[in-house]
Chains A and B, each alone.
Chain A
Amino acid sequence: MTLRASGVSVAFDGQSVLEDVTLGVDPGEVLTVVGPSGTGKTTLLRALAMFQRPDDGTVEWTGDDVWALPDEDRLAVRRRLSMVFQEPSLFNARVAENVGYGLRIRRSWRDRIGERLRTLLGNSSVPESVHDSLETVGLTEKAEQNALALSGGEAQRVAFARALAVDPTVVLLDEPTSNLDPRNTAVLENAVDRARDRGVGVVVATHDMHQARRLSDRVAFLYDGTVVESGPPEQVFEDPEDWRTAAFVAGELLYESDSGRPMAAQSP
């Protein structure tokens, strides 16, 4: 596996959020992490993106423990990844500047200052990968618009373009379409497909089973901080081995009882 969580456990204030999670992704495949809200999906993606060091276990890049690497090497690994959040979190700047952000910070300070001066003099050009990324999400005509003036769906597509522009090996998507309408969702899912075809590994955290069916090469079902089942989508969705996966796939309400036992109930 190129990017892999191996036995990862994370706790906040003594409360376990992830427990011994092992999964990974390779270039050119889409792994979806499905499960109810509050089950640790975001924490898992943030651990993979190196926002925080796991309390136990390792995050590995091509077999190396990333937290055992020197800072410079870990930064180099982080720059092979990019992440998109549930909220687009765009900067107060033109769309093209937003999409080009990752490229800019990978340049030397001298080049960055030179580029800033050229922009101030009105002599800047949009890099090819920025243009290509915007084309992937169908927003080339918005390149010169201020990003904060975009609709929520367009903003999320720009956030995905920003993630793609740096030519990442792996992209992490945290509930990328939970606030989007069907049209924007379709555009974004299509862009994920195209990224996979280009050899990008994609990890999608979602509670949308239908999206997981549409996108996945592999599915991991996360419940209460633990991967209870993983495999090809046809196996996880059509013939789940774990009763909690089966309940979730069947659309039943999966929750913890007051005693902490997982329970499932039919939706009304």
Chain B
Amino acid sequence: MFLQVLPDGGWAYVLSVVIVSLYVSVTAVGLSTLVSLPVALVLGFTDFPGKRVVTAVVNTGMGFPSVVVGLVVLMAISNSGPLGSLDLAFTPTAMIASQFVLATPVIMSISLSAVEGVGQPVRDAAYAMGGTKADVGLVVIKEARYGIVTAVLAGFGRAISEVGSILIVGGNIVYSDGQSYTRTLTTAITVEARQGRYEIGLVLGAILLVLVLGINGLGSWLRSKGRGRGAS
């Protein structure tokens, strides 16, 4: 009964869209975390001239308009762009690149505030017990763990619900058999709505909502576990 909500082949199409969405967003967030975390730790541990400017730039990046990011990434990977030879335009890899740019400031900024939220007294306690710099660093990461995971979840939330840039760099393409190539949950909803196929649009929207709500719920739970220390 429930499965009959969609026309024939509808569920296979929805499944392919979900798989592309998750593949693109999980990969982008994974790569972004690998870059963001070390930078956040270095920024949180060191003091250098211009640190405030760097931090301000990272924070500003959280507000990047996604369509502008998409435009810049497309210019970079188009045939006439500096990365044109890689032939990445309108591929999932291009979508990963644009989501990476969008998620990185979010993950970096929230991780940085989590690391900075671990006060000097805790670092002093680790040092006073005979800790090396590496030991003190590990204590800070451990104390900030809930905040860091929250940062990754926030980055994933930003990536999975983003539409502008992946529409530009991905092209919202499906194969001839109707399966998704670069069509994600968000870009598929725009197409289904435009074509009046509201039932598929609603199913896609419900899946997206469940994903975003799940991420937010997990984030809230982790923040309560962190009890304020290091959790942003």
Residues of B within 8 A of A75 (CB): 130, 132
A79 contacts the other chain (CB 8 A): yes
The listed residue (B121, B135, B226) touching A87 by CB distance below 8 A is B121
Is A12's beta carbon under 8 Å from chain B? Answer: no
- Residue in contact with A105 in the complex, picked from B121, B129, B227, CB distance below 8 Å: B129
- Of B130, B229, B230, the residue contacting A78 (CB under 8 A) is B130
Which residues in A have their C-beta under 8 angstroms from that of B227? 92, 148
Q: Compute how far the CA of A81 lies from the CA of B132 in the bound complex, rounded to whole angstroms.
A: 14
**Which residues of chain B have C-beta atoms less than 8 A from A101's C-beta?**
126, 129
Instruction: Count A-side interface residues using an 8 Å CB cutoff.
Output: 26
Bound CA span A92–B118, Å: 11
| CB pair B143 A83 closer than 8 Å | no
Q: Does A30 contact B (CB under 8 A)?
A: no
CB neighbors of B among A145-165 (8 A): 148, 159, 162-163
Whether B129 pairs with A89 at a CB distance below 8 angstroms is: no
Set A90, A93, A105, A148: member contacting B131, Cβ < 8 A = A105
The residue on B at minimum CB distance from A82 is B129
* B127 at the A interface (CB under 8 A): yes
Q: Mark each residue of chain B from 97 to 133: 1 if its CB lies under 8 Å from any CB of chain A, else 0.
A: 0000000000000000000000101101111111110
- Contact partners of A159 in chain B: CB under 8 A: 125
CB-based contact B143/A89 at 8 Å: no
Dominant SS among interface residues on chain B: helix
Q: B60 to chain A: closest CB distance in Å?
A: 31
Contact with A along B54-92 (1 / 0, CB 8 A): 000000000000000000000000000000000000000
Known: A91-B122, A92-B229. A82 touches B139 (CB 8 A): no
Q: Enumerate chain A residues within 8 angstroms of B121, measured Cβ to Cβ.
A: 85, 87, 89
Interface residue? A188 (CB, 8 A): no
Partner of B129, one of A51, A92, A93, A102: A102
Cβ-based interface call for A5 (8 A)? no
Report how far A78 CA is from B135 CA in the complex, Å.
14
B122 to chain A, nearest CB (A): 5
**CB of A194 within 8 A of chain B?**
no
Report if A49 contacts B (CB, 8 A): yes
B197 within 8 A of A: no
Q: Does B142 lie at the interface of the complex (its beta carbon under 8 Å from any beta carbon of A)? A: yes
Q: Which residue of B lies closest to A45 (CB)?
A: B128
Bound Cα distance A91, B136 (Å)? 12
Q: Is B122 in contact with A89, judged by CB distance below 8 angstroms?
A: yes
Please measure, in the bound complex, the distance between the C-alpha atom of A31 and the C-alpha atom of B122, giving whole angstroms: 26
A81 to chain B: which residues have CB within 8 Å? 128, 130
A93-B139 Cα distance, complex, nearest whole Å: 11
Q: What are 17 of the A-B contact pairs (CB < 8 Å)?
A: A49-B128, A82-B128, A82-B130, A85-B125, A89-B121, A89-B122, A89-B125, A92-B227, A92-B229, A93-B142, A101-B126, A101-B129, A102-B129, A105-B126, A148-B229, A159-B125, A163-B129
Q: Which 4 A-B pairs have the closest CB atoms?
A: A79-B130, A83-B128, A89-B125, A89-B121
